[in-house]
Copies of this chain bind each other. A is one copy, B any other.
Amino acid sequence: MIPVEEALERILAGLSPTGAETVALAEGWGRILAHPVTARLTQPPTDVSAMDGYAVRVEDAGVGARLRVIGASPAGHPFSGRVGPGEAVRIFTGGALPAGADTVLLQEDAAAEDGHVRPTEAPRPGRHIRRAGLDFATGDTLLPAGRRLTARDIGLAAAANHPWLQVHRRPRIGILATGDEISLPGDPIPPGGIVSSNAHALAALVRAAGGEPLVLPIAADDRDAIAGAAEAARRCDLLVTTGGASVGEHDLVQAALGPQGFALDFWKIAMRPGKPLIWGDLRGTPLLGLPGNPVSALVCAVLFLIPATRRLSGLPAGPVETRPALLGREMPANDRRQDYVRAELSQDAAGALVATPFAVQDSSMLRTMAAAGALILRRPHAPAAPAGSAVEVVELSSLGV
């Protein structure tokens, strides 16, 4: 059995980001930049007013002066003339500062009268002016490669005049559920069989992590079926299997895939739930074999498939993020396996995050998994922890999982 951290390192080391594709700016949200976005223009393009008022020459604009208003400069409609001695131009927020003017007299510091304006407060030089390039200048790198694009980023790329973006292709992740006792929802259920929940839960998780899931037909628990389905997944960036619940399921996947050129890296991890986990390479396609148990499959997917999908998508490689929380009730000492304990999240009176483990953690209980706000991470050999202890948690809903 190898530790969780080592398993993740070995998985991530075997994966490379997908290549780039061009998408319309409007389709860029949530995608990962493959190339930086640089500014194609300067913003603001020229000095502009930060307020509504009058563009004036500071030397003319003492209290009591009377300036002739010779034009207006609203945003987008620059005044083409020049502010000469004794003159002013009406200006609005975002309007270009006309030639000759060196400050902005605020509207509330001015009295307008009959084509003229009188300062009631003397402006200081250079006030209320946004200088050209205050936001960015042509050539500035605005968004780095490897960034997941937010709505704000889309706005910034638009402002920098990009109708198109170069993003990483969404990694295509094949999902192969095995087992002759499982059916898809709504299909006839064989006697003693169960409805398969893994494939579509994992597909949703892949989507949440930015990948493109490809749900393969269920493969019965025999070598030919598994080998055939694996063949169909050759165009995937990653193939994920989830075992049937039959005996020796992992041996079966390995035995079925071995003749197809499967090279095993490891297959046991010191964690709970989810000890049996296959990692290897199927003739150039990385293969992640998850347990068949739905809770184990989901926990392993959070810990390994989300980081793998992110890595393939061009995001930085690393574990899923954890947050500090306080234990809502005591927990016993842990054994040598790293434990991921389903817990409810709440806030205490001081606003701190509290994680309370569910009393029953049986790994067959998918309902408890769906109800959990977080997984409490318990390190191997962690001592007993009283209520109120600091723990690390993996928050599930913020992962979309």
Contact = CB atoms under 8 A, between A and B. Distances in A.
A181 interface: yes
Interface of A, helix, strand, loop or mixed by DSSP: loop
Interface in A371-401: 372, 396-398, 400-401
Contacts of A199: 158
A310 to B, nearest CB: 14
A274 to B, nearest CB: 13
Contacts of A150: 204, 208, 370, 396-397, 400-401
Nearest to A215: B26
Contact of A367 (B156, B398, B401): B156
Query: Within the oligomer, what is the number of copies of this chain?
Result: 2
Given A76-B192, A246-B75, A364 B94 contact: yes
A206 B186 CA distance: 33
Interface string A344-379: 000000011000000000101111011010000000
A285 interface: no
B400 A155 contact: no
A119 to B, nearest CB: 20
Contacts of A396: 150, 152
A269 interface: no
A152 B50 CA distance: 49
Given A92-B247, A152-B366, A159-B194, 16 more contacts: A25-B185, A29-B208, A52-B247, A75-B245, A93-B245, A95-B245, A151-B204, A151-B298, A152-B370, A155-B200, A155-B204, A158-B200, A159-B197, A161-B189, A162-B186, A398-B398
Please provide the 3 A-B residue pairs with the shortest distance between their CB atoms, ordered closest to farther. A76-B181, A155-B201, A75-B245
Interface of A: 25-26, 28-30, 41, 43-45, 50, 52, 74-78, 92-96, 130, 134-136, 142-143, 149-164, 179-182, 184-186, 189-205, 207-208, 215, 244-247, 293-294, 298, 324, 351-352, 362, 364-367, 369-370, 372, 396-398, 400-401
